[in-house]
Each structure stands twice: as structure tokens, then as C-alpha cells.
Amino acid sequence: MNFVKISRTQRFAGAIENFFSKNRRHLGLVHLGMFGVFIVLIFVPPFLPAPLEHSRVFDNFQLFANSLLWGAWFPLVLLSVVVTGRSWCGLFCPMGAASEWASGRGLGRRVPGWLKSPAAPIVSFVFVTIWAQTLGARDHAQSAAILFGCVMLAAFVCGLVFGRKKRVWCRHACPIGLLLGVYARLGAVDFKPKRFVAGGDRWTEATACPTMIDLKRKSESRHCIECFRCVSPNAKGGLEVQLRRPGAELETIRHHNGNLAEVLFLFISAGVALGGFLWLVLGSYQDFRLWLATEAIKRGWLWVGSPGPSWLMAVFSEEREVFRWVDFLTITGYMAGWIMICTLVLSFTTGVAAWLVRRAGGTGTFHQCFVALGYQVAPVSLVSLVLGLGNGAFINLALLGLSPAFITTVKLLLFVSGAGWSLHLGNRILASFGVRGSSRVGPLLCGAAGSVFLASAWYPALFG
């Protein structure tokens, strides 16, 4: 019976290989079409009349485009990695395709060390996410055009300057590249070398891979954008598609190039999502804003009451939403505060769990235990991003006529599922370190404490 199940899985994976290898030449048309859709959704709405107070999604193109971007595209791309990995990046993303196109016609300069730094995509994600909040990109078509237009320009320039027919942008600088890459480790789709060479993943430009993976040594999913250029079903070399249990890579992360930068990013991204949601709903933000404004006035810093530039913050007089420098500083500071809180709390719970693993006789150093156990927060961190930065999906559910109670139940089930998966993942990681029986209880409780902390912080989103 087990043989039949495996055989069917292999046949399905083979069908995927055959389809994309035969139709790979058409992907350029898909990218061109997606580029057209991107242009229409981003740059047409700012030139249209603003929606009236009684306008609905299907009555006004501005509202329709906004609903597609923030209520469908962003949360669905986030959730899709659990099923298909970074397929969005390789098959559909117009920014990555534009960057690679520019790379084939640009200066071809070597990728500098600062751009290859693990910190580069983390900084990119935090910067763009906070900027989206101060711009009001989720509420204003003009702001969304500025945000996405600048990101598209940055991707194009990155391709124009660095690499030769590569996606330097996708691997090192895209604000959601690392985000999708980390969660792609949870994905059910993997591309594995047919003739694997041990030694760990390596970066190289002497490869057919646009994200510079040394294909014969590939052992992790985060940089693979699933462009299918390395797949040839009839060849003895290259890579092949394999289907696996979601989360399998993280359960044995010790063998898949786990690293501290990714773990810290998981903690940071949870904090960004929390800060991006909570500043809109918590009174503590208003208290912080009032305190900062009062202190600034006492010191004669009256400039904090002046509106800022429209490329940096929301300045819409006709819509009665004008951010001033005090708003920019408090939004940025509030989100930065939540980043620090989440990083410190999750680092502490993970550190205690790693210490307990060592006390229980688990194999590996403290650093190895910390890094591996840090990945157990991935499912609940992913849910946090959907709840916070992908909150538009739940607004769309309300527009469809679903009751607030039903939507709250969906949010709660989503969070509980993420927390449960994190707990299961932690248990599997502990097994990989040789921790047995009751000795797992302490480390698992530490992981659960991290999930409880996030649940407490998300209480306004889950229940009110």
C-alpha cells in the first residue's frame, strides 16, 4: 500500500516536471502579462477619481485594485509557499523578471560583499514594510504607486548594475525574497539534485541558476525560485521535482544549512507584523505620540508638527489624512519597539530551550541548538504576517458578507493551527538532536511560551 502511495506521488511530480519543461519557453509571455497587470493595478488607480463614501469594491477601480493587492495577492502569496514554495518568484513575479532582463543587458559588475551580506534582505524588508505604513500604501492609490514603483525601479537598477543574466535582486535585495525563502522551507515542493555532491550549499555565478545556486550541492529551498531551468526529465544530471511533507526540511534543519540570520529574521518579521497592525488599534501608540509631541514642543522642536514630504508619508489634505513628522517618528519608533520586543522575547525562549536541550544530553553545540529550535517559530510567525500585513484578506471576507464572528473564528483557527504546527515542529527538531521522552517537555514548553506571547500580543486582532 505504501509503495502505491509513493508511486503516485512520484508520477505527479513527474507530470509537473514534464509540463513546465515543455512550456518553459512560454514563461516570458507570462512575465510580460504579469508586468502589464502590475502596471494597470499600480499606476492606473492614482489617475482615477477617488472613491465616494458609499463606493464598493466592484463600483470603483481604486478600491478593486487595492482589494486585489492587499486583500488577495499579498496574503495568498504568503500562504502559497507552504504548498508550492517560491513559485511566485520564478513563474509570475514581474519585478524579478524585469531585474533579470536588465541584468542581461547591463554593466555585469560583480556582486559586492555588502549586498551579499545576510543583513541586506532583512534591512530591505524592514525598511519597505515601515515605509509602506508611513506612506499609507494600503489606503491610498498614490502611495501604493510610489512604493511599488520605487521597488520596481530598484529591482531594475540592481539588475542593470550587478550580475550577468542573474537575479541578484531576488536573492539578495528583494524585500519579500527572504520572507518567501524562509517559509519556502515549509513547502511541499522541493528541487533536488539527481547527482548530489556533499559539502553544503554554495554561491556561484558559474551556474544555470538565476539565483546563483551551485546546483549539484543544493540542499535547501530558500533561494530556489522554481524557474525550472535546471529541470530536464530525460537528463541524468540537473535537478528533479520531489514532493515532500510540509515542514520536512525544517524538521531536519541541521542538514539544510540553517543559519542564525534566518532565525533572527523570523523573530524580526513577527515584530514588524505586530507593530504594523497594533499602531493602528492600540491606545499605547496614541500615548507614545502625545508624549513625543509634548516633549518636542517643550524643547522648541516645532518642526515635528509640520507635514512631511509625500514620498515619505501620507499627505492627503482632501481626504483629511496628513501625516506630520511626529507621526512618521512615532510610527517608525513604535514598529521598531515591537521588533525589539519580539526579537528579545523569542530569543530568550529559544535560548532557554537550547540550554535545556544541552542539559538533557542533546547532540550539538548551544549555537546549533539555538538555530535549529529558532525555526520552530516559522509557522506561527507566518500566521502573524497574514494577520497583520495581510489583514486586507479579512476585510475582503467582510465585504463578501461574512459575519464578524465568523471572521474572528477564521483568524483564531489560523493562529491555533500555526501554533500547533510550531509545537509539532519543535518536537521533531528535538528528536533530531536525540532528546527523548520527558526531556522534551521543558524545551517544548519554552517554544509554547513564545507562541503564547505572540497570541497575547495578537489579542486585538484575534478577538477585537
Query: Looking at residue 223, what is its pLDDT?
Result: 93
C-alpha cell at 406: 465568523
- Among 2-11, 304-313, 398-407, 433-442, which is the least confidently predicted range? 2-11
C-alpha cell at 22: 515543455
Residue 251 lies in a domain: no
Query: Looking at residue 305, what is its pLDDT?
Result: 92
Could you tell me if 236 and 263 lie in one domain?
A: no
C-alpha cell at 358: 544541552
* Count of structural domains, the chain: 2
Could you tell me if 327 and 226 lie in one domain?
A: no
- In the 3-class helix/strand/coil scheme, how is 358-415 assigned residue by residue? HHCCCCCCHHHHHHHHHHHHHHHHHHHHHHHCCCHHHHHHHHCCCCHHHHHHHHHHHH
Residue 421 lies in a domain: yes
Burial 280-294 (b: 16+ CB within 10 A, else e): eeeeebeebbeebbe
- Model confidence at 405: pLDDT above 60: yes
- Compute the distance between CA of residue 330 and CA of residue 371 in angstroms, rounded to an integer: 32
- In the 3-class helix/strand/coil scheme, how is 88-126 assigned residue by residue? HHHHHCHHHHHHHHHHCCCCCECCCHHHHCCHHHHHHHH
Could you tell me if 169 and 34 lie in one domain?
A: yes
Please state the rounded mean pLDDT for residues 195-215: 87
Quick: pLDDT tens for 234-265.
888 889 999 999 999 999 998 899 999 999 99
Quick: pLDDT tens for 3-20.
445 568 888 888 888 898
**Contact call for residues 367 and 438 (beta carbons, < 8 A):** no
Could you tell me if 205 and 99 lie in one domain?
A: yes
**Residue 269, number of CB atoms within 10 A of its CB:** 28
Residue 248 lies in a domain: no
With cut-offs at 50, 70 and 90, classify the pLDDT of residue 353.
very high
Query: Looking at residue 26, what is its pLDDT?
Result: 87
Could you tell me if 368 and 459 lie in one domain?
A: yes
C-alpha cell at 234: 530525460
Query: Cα–chain-centroid distance for residue 357?
Result: 29
Could you tell me if 91 and 51 lie in one domain?
A: yes
Residue 169 lies in a domain: yes
Q: Looking at residue 242, what DSSP letter applies?
A: E
Could you tell me if 55 and 158 lie in one domain?
A: yes
- Compute the distance between CA of residue 346 and CA of residue 424 in angstroms, rounded to an integer: 17
Please state the rounded mean pLDDT for residues 166-195: 93
Q: Quote the mean pLDDT of the chain.
A: 90
> Between the CA of residue 189 and those of 24, 114, 182, 245, 277, what are the distances in Å?
18, 31, 14, 9, 31
Could you tell me if 294 and 349 lie in one domain?
A: yes
Could you tell me if 212 and 353 lie in one domain?
A: no
Quick: pLDDT tens for 52-106.
777 788 888 998 998 898 888 988 998 899 999 999 999 999 999 999 999 999 9
Which residues lie below 8 Å from residue 214, measured CB to CB, with a gap of 6+? 201, 202, 203, 204, 207
Residue 458 lies in a domain: yes
Please state the rounded mean pLDDT for residues 441-454: 91
- Model confidence at 430: pLDDT above 90: yes
Q: Domain span at residue 77?
A: 2-184+189-243
**Neighbour-count burial of 47, counting CB atoms closer than 10 A to its CB (0-12 exposed, 13-18 middle, 19+ buried):** exposed
- Compute the distance between CA of residue 20 and CA of residue 13 in angstroms, rounded to an integer: 11
Could you tell me if 195 and 312 lie in one domain?
A: no
Residue 250 lies in a domain: no
Query: Looking at residue 3, what is its pLDDT?
Result: 45
Query: Looking at residue 244, what is its pLDDT?
Result: 92
**Contact call for residues 213 and 200 (beta carbons, < 8 A):** no
Q: Is 16 helix (H, G, I), strand (E, B) or coil?
A: helix
Could you tell me if 383 and 361 lie in one domain?
A: yes
Q: Looking at residue 52, what DSSP letter applies?
A: P
Could you tell me if 235 and 371 lie in one domain?
A: no
